Chains A and B, each alone.
Chain A
């Protein structure tokens, strides 16, 4: 495949078989990449991905496609940088142009504290072998001329961290690329198939009940983001996850104006310009718990105010569409990937507001965990039992984005 051609065939639409070696619950980006790496890295192909709706129609269709690995803590830096390295060869690996564009991610700072934290993060990133730079306002002007650097701003821009290898990709293509290759390995991608219960034999899971009948499984791998606690509750498992709306929006198609990704925590918005030309923006979660895939309008109003303050040239752009996803937020804003107290049942959730960038690495380490029955070194720190051990990986406020 070359250029931006689409393949003629993406995947079959099979009926579920009665039994699989591995059943993955959730056909989003992470579920699909898990299926792909199970087949490619571990030779496990008798696998079903069960999706309640249509493939990649949840958060994978609703995120703002930002990719970066500039996390503060070593554990996070390691897994997100592994993801970045996978992104860098993913189009070739999957034989699909996913429009991965390493146009750079700027994290603006607006206070002395912001600035100190950004410096700390830049140095931490460098110690972990991740590219990171500090830009002065003059250097920001050169890199991204449309940022408002006026001292008259209520919270003037004091500088920015820059990860040049960060950027965006086309989220739908990423999902389709993983799905197509998983299908080619023989994985069954089963849509309109909702899991309604689990079959247990003693402390061991042996299969799932679904809206399309019972399916036996050697191993069951949860990968359902905002619905993780709903599934876990069916087997009496408590997950420290809260499901919140996270909203995003796009403008109409515009001429190229923004050449990189810009994030600001203090004047809270993140924005990039998609390949097609629309401005894509997001900010923080709605505070309350919701499964409605929609949030409150004032959240949109605040992020637009922030965007216009930082980018005065956006003031005449129009909002064409807003939407929401259901994000699975954990107490330390870090994912939970690993074993559960129930034998042969695995969990992958808690990616919260930042799961898209992790799509390849999440699948990579989760496939390893499922295949070997023990975590990959990269996800070992992200175990479910870290909360009882007090070994939190506290990325709240540290992860270069407010949550």
Chain B
């Protein structure tokens, strides 16, 4: 089980959290002008690295706030935990 450091509540068991997938996925700046391939990439393609990944979690059974962590997808080590408004 992951021990996830919530920026507000500290370390808690994974079962208190909900996973939100990759962080920092940007909505296309001008969605009406993008072509289908670009739109599909925005909708369906997400980072899937073997190594560090910035991802969103929600402390759904705790403070109920969303935040980001950087976690290694091979070792599961969590290198960083930061609030949504903080820079990646």
Interface residues of chain A, those whose CB is within 8 Å of chain B, are 227, 229-230, 238-243, 287-292, 296-298, 331, 387-390
* Contact of B41 with A238 in the complex, beta carbons under 8 Å: yes
Cβ contacts B27-41/A at 8 Å (1 or 0 each): 000000000110111
What is the chain B residue whose CB lies nearest that of A239?
B45
State whether B40 touches A388 (Cβ < 8 A).
Answer: yes
Distance from A56 Cβ to chain B, minimum over Cβ atoms (Å): 21
Please name the 6 residue pairs, one residue from A and one from B, whose CB atoms are nearest each other, closest first: A287-B19, A240-B44, A388-B40, A229-B48, A296-B1, A387-B40
Q: Taking CB as reference atom, which chain B residue is nearest A299? A: B1
- A292-B45 contact given A298-B14, A388-B40, A389-B36, CB 8 Å threshold: no
Contact A291 B45 (CB under 8 A): no
Chain B residues touching A, majority SS: mixed
B74 within 8 A of A: yes
Residues of B near A291 (CB, < 8 A) are 50, 73-74
**Cβ–Cβ contact A289 & B40, under 8 A:** no
Contact B45 A240 (CB under 8 A): yes
A-B contact pairs, 17 of them (CB 8 A): A229-B48, A239-B45, A240-B44, A240-B45, A241-B48, A288-B19, A288-B73, A290-B73, A296-B14, A298-B14, A331-B43, A331-B44, A387-B40, A387-B43, A387-B44, A388-B37, A390-B36
Residues of A within 8 A of B43 (CB): 331, 387
Which residues of B are at the interface with A, using a C-beta cutoff of 8 A?
1-2, 14-15, 18-19, 21, 36-37, 39-41, 43-46, 48, 50, 53, 55, 71, 73-76
Do B1 and A298 touch across chains, with their CB atoms under 8 A apart? yes
A230 cross-chain contacts in B, Cβ below 8 A: 50
- CB contacts (< 8 Å) of B45 on chain A: these are 238-240
Contacts of A289 in B (CB 8 A): 21, 48, 53, 55, 73
- Complex Cα distance, B37 from A18, in Å, reads 37
Q: Which residues of B contact A297 (CB under 8 A)?
A: 1
State the majority secondary structure of interface residues on A: loop
In the complex, the chain B residue whose C-beta lies closest to that of A287 is B19
In whole angstroms, what is the CA distance A227 to B55 when docked? 19
* A227 to B74 Cα, complex, angstroms: 12
Are A288 and B55 in touch, CB under 8 angstroms?
yes
Given contacts A241-B48, A388-B36, contact A292 B14 (CB under 8 A): no
| Residue of A288, A292, A388 with highest tally of chain B CB at under 10 A | A288
A296 to B55, CA, bound (A): 18
Instruction: Please give, as numbers and ranges, the residues of chain B lying within 8 Å of A296 by CB-CB distance.
Output: 1-2, 14
Choice from B15, B50, B76 contacting A298 with Cβ under 8 Å: B15
Residues of chain A lying within 8 A (CB to CB) of residue B39: 388
Residue of B nearest to A294 (CB): B76
B55, A242: Cβ atoms closer than 8 Å: no
**B48 and A243 contacting across the interface, CB-CB below 8 Å:** yes
Give the nearest-CB partner of B37 in chain A: A388
Cβ–Cβ < 8 Å partners of B18 in chain A: 287
